[in-house]
Amino acid sequence: MTRSALLILAVLVGSCAQFIDAVNINVQNEASTDYMPILCSPIPASFSPSSSVHALRPADISAVYALGMPHSHRDEASRVVSRLAELLSMFNPEVITEHVIKASLQPRSLLEEAEDLSLSLSHQVSDWKFVLLFVPTDLTCACSPRVAADVNAVVQEVEAALQILQKRLHHTLVHVVVWSANHQQDNWCECMKDESINQRLHKAILLKQLQDSLNHVLENPKWHRKSLDFTALLLSAPVIADPISDSENILSDINQLAVQLWTNLLQPSTGQIEVMDSGVVTIPCPTQERPFLRTQINSPTSAEENVYSKASSLTDPIMGTEIPCTDRNPSPTIPTSVHELRPADIKVVAAVGDSLTAANGVGAKTDNLLLVINEYRGLSWSIGGDENITTVTTLPNILREFNPSLTGFSEGEGKEDNPTAFLNQAVSGAKSGDMVQQVRILVDKMKNDSRIDFHNDWKVITMFIGGNDICDFCTDSIFFSPANVVGRIRQALDILHSEVPRAIVNLVELLNIVTLRDLHRDKALGCPTWFVSLVCPCILKPKEGSSELQKVNDFNRAYQRGMRELIDSGRYDTHNNFTVVLQPFFREVFLPKLENGQPDRSYFSPDCFHLSQKAHTLMARALWNNMLEPVGNKTYTQDFMAGIDLKCPSETVPFFRTAVNSNYSFPGPPPTPAPVTNWGSDFYCVNTAPSNSVPTSVHRLQPADINVVAALGDSITAGFGAKAKNLLQLRTEYRGVSWSIGGDKTLETVTTLPNILKKFNPKIKGVSKGQGKWQTGFNMAVSGAKISGIPGQVRNLIDKMKNNSAVDFEKDWKLVTLFIGGNDLCQYCNDRATLSPLNYSHHMMTSLDMLHKEVPRAIVNVLEIMEIEGLRRVKRDSLGCSVLQQYVCPCFLLPGEDSPELAEVKRINRELQIETEKLVYGGRYDDREDFAVVVQPFFKNSIVPVNADGRPDTTYFSEDCFHFSERGHADMAVAIWNNMLEPVGKKQTYNNFTNARNNIKCPTEEHPYIFTKVNSLPSLTTSTTLPLTSTTTTTSALTPHSTAQPLPTDCSDNVPVWLAAVLAVTGLLIGWAVTWLLLSYRTKRSKRTMMAAVEMKGTVF
């Protein structure tokens, strides 16, 4: 009853709000279950069920059934269907789902399940039923030579099952779903045990084969036009469990899959964009324009196919290249130095790498995704030798214009062990760790082939690797760390260096792979995003602007930098008959665009990931040009749209360029940095003056206006063990270096928030100094404190400020920083009731209420509790780390890796963050012009700092590997300062600990103020005054997941108070009336339908 009243009231006052048809939620937040009943606004429904399956609304569905659930993942699939049924229950709370549970009890064939279901429901004529028919791939071997026959058998069984359902069931909508649990083990499939098999690509191709075959069957009009009583439709993309999820995220995966099914159940909305982030999904709702469940008749898909074909058409079918070089002669005598090597002196070409060198999909037709599995090695940019340079541009075809007797190139199609592959030993799916094996096979082939004079022939060997490492880095950031990846490449190059004479090796720098994401943002391009998500999950998964995406970019750049440093070490220039040259043309690549600004798909194979022959043509030209450019002055950026003209050897230097003939001086390994003597920061801000007059509004507060700093919290703010060098010093509180309140020395040697503020106002008061409790200033933090102790700290702080003669309590602007919750979380499992998120929020509210009520002219920083899970990885071979760490935080550090106890405390961790945001941005503290509370979220998604080896950097932590060291405090200080200068909704939500001295941001001329919720709104940044009324009317509360920006409103401030009261009462009366009518109707209807006693428990969205 209350729900209906609220909904109608919302309609009545809707002139001041905009209703949207989709609601973004975080699927990892269990608390959001409370919002399920109001996710979709009700659409007026007819009082009689639809007579046509093509005009079926969600409210018409009376029961949900499932067939063909995967044998190895029945429980998971059943839970997905249960969640889908819960979404349907928003429109019909009486929807039946009990058959879902029954179907999972024992494995049977799909035909048997179809027979049983049709018999049990044959008497139900009037009620509309929804059937999900699963087509699992868990029993199909993706790399088997019989895969085509296996797919055909599955499709025939599905068709037979549909015929049974169509013949016997009435009022039925069937959706066919191809299901793949990508985390499943394929140990039973022998060919998948072969390490040379690209498992992900084979699985993706299997799904595509099955999808296409089923689509061909279901396109038959007999499923759509034979009657208005029954139809069957294939889901537009397979349902795939997250390939990089661990057990803790299974719940999140299930919710995502359910939302995918729900999205495809509805008629598609125009302009629908695929979401690449797995943490946030969009739950769409039926609209007035498209209110029905999807069928082939009301939502035809042929238009999408036309878009796909149009977007895929090649614009330049000519792949040849004109060679402008006139001097194509070899050296007068065979050179003895690699630094005097002309193109015509090369007699052997070879290559190692991954699918880009194996040339997967290069020759594929633009509309045939299945051909991506084919390896068109004869067209490969660095090693292919099909036809000649007039029709196929590759490095070997260019070299053959200088030496027609060149050998080693690959031809035609096939795997690396095919004789026509010759010295193209690249393996699809290979990573840096596979380079040693590829190089050893390559060396053996060159030694044993009669066409090659191993000791006398000059060779060009091209290595291009790293793409699959970056695609997988998020599964194990240590294994795929830049240092480890480059180390594996070094091992392979070392073998070539020690065993292969007369060779020049091209190490092609890894491309900037993140640009490929642009292909999957525009749905009109028709790119198979689901396919690429299988092949390269770590690139497509992160959300735009997220810390995960930043980490992708950081790793990508670090791979490139590591390759440069490896070659610049000079380790491969120890003798004159061998060298390795870095060819950097792929470092910065601009995604080719069409005239309308869309990415040009003609440069890519049908999967929008591998490259087409058009791109291979340009890559071959770019590589050739790089080889002729001097080291230190090579082209490192490519705009393929501008085209690439072939260069020629110069008359003065007719050789392939090496470091020696380029007069390049190797910088050698980077010098060992001098020992760090302090953790200070450099300061470059110019505008450090205060406001012209003391501001009266907290939303116009500049850093130099702050007179007093204060801090509340626990041992972190107390500086517990921050400078400890042994266990004896661990208990010392080094308050003078505390990140938020310490004032020891100056910013140049000690980085703290007050020391930064001293650059703006040298007379700032309240800082704590030294050790212990002698010069604490307004640092009220107590080691071991929990949230329940914060109200007491607040009381002590207020009293201390009032009694301090140096403080003008009424007029001085104050900055108070509150960071608490670590001890609550670490001890949660020992007292769940007392330390619950609800109590946490209560104590937080009590504390902020006291500040809000009693402290004038204040801005309060509230830090979200850090994501503590990462501390489980922080290890050091010491007594303090191995024993004390777990004692300090038992509830997080003692549970097993996949234990329910760990899952519970991680959930509580996130709930504490959410409760903080809800409280602060709920509008409770927005009614005063001289007071503001701001959440600073840099710890929300905590990233454990790592060293050069990709392991947790323990120098950021004290002797117990839990509390922060002075280095950690310094980076926390910079992080909170930078958060303060970022607008609400656009604040960085992760800690980027690098300890660079130049990370401190500066206020801008456009916005010299510390950001609050109010002055983060664009409409408020230009006004000179801010009346009290505007604060309450323009600062709408943020959502519970508040890194979103507050929404500005266009509502007038002139709405009379009495009107709101009248509308509220009217809304309630109408709500009661409508609710009574609905309940009466449902009661009558329920008497005509079977009773549903399935209670939804434990469902989380």
Per-residue tokens: 119: 């018999």
pLDDT at 941: 81
3 state SS of 306: helix
pLDDT at 265: 87
Per-residue tokens: 934: 């701001």
* 463-480 exposure pattern, b = at least 16 Cβ within 10 A, e = fewer: bbbbbbbbbbbbeebeeb
pTM above 0.75, yes or no: no
pLDDT at 305: 41
pLDDT at 140: 81
In percent, how much of the chain has pLDDT > 90? 50
Q: Would you say 880 and 886 are in contact if contact means Cβ atoms under 8 Å apart?
A: no
> What does DSSP assign to residue 1061?
H
In angstroms, the CA 79 to CA 257 distance is 10
- Return the half-sphere exposure (C-beta side, CA atoms, 13 A cut-off) of residue 586: 31
pLDDT-derived band of residue 1070, with 50, 70 and 90 as boundaries? low
In angstroms, the CA 105 to CA 111 distance is 16
pLDDT at 365: 80
Residues 6+ apart with CB under 8 A from 842: none
Q: Strand pairing of 22-26 and 280-284? A: antiparallel
Q: Would you say 403 and 346 are in contact if contact means Cβ atoms under 8 Å apart?
A: yes
The predicted-structure confidence for 554-565, as pLDDT tens digits, reads as follows 999 999 999 999
Q: Strand pairing of 458-464 and 346-353? A: parallel
In angstroms, the first-to-last Cα distance of the chain is 24
Q: In this model, does residue 1017 exceed pLDDT 50?
A: yes
pLDDT-derived band of residue 47, with 50, 70 and 90 as boundaries? low
Residue 926 amino acid letter: D
Mean pLDDT of the chain: 82
Comparing 1053 with 54, the larger pLDDT belongs to: 54
Q: What is the mean pLDDT of residues 515-529?
A: 85
Q: In this model, does residue 1044 exceed pLDDT 70?
A: no
In angstroms, the CA 152 to CA 115 distance is 21
Residue with tokens 């109590």: 839
CA 237 to chain centre: 20
The answer to which of 624-638, 720-734, 1009-1023 has the lowest mean pLDDT is: 1009-1023
Q: How many residues does the chain have?
A: 1101
pLDDT at 735: 97
Per-residue tokens: 565: 């440093």
Q: In this model, does residue 235 exceed pLDDT 60?
A: yes
CA torsion sign for 956, 958, 964, 969 is negative
> What does DSSP assign to residue 178?
E
In angstroms, the CA 1036 to CA 1016 distance is 12
Q: Strand pairing of 280-284 and 230-234? A: unpaired
Q: What is the mean pLDDT of residues 536-565?
A: 88
Q: In this model, does residue 278 exceed pLDDT 60?
A: no
3 state SS of 234: strand
The predicted-structure confidence for 333-347, as pLDDT tens digits, reads as follows 999 999 999 999 999
Residue with tokens 């760390």: 481
Residues 6+ apart with CB under 8 A from 403: 330, 343, 344, 345, 346, 347
In angstroms, the CA 366 to CA 612 distance is 9
Q: Strand pairing of 637-639 and 172-180? A: unpaired
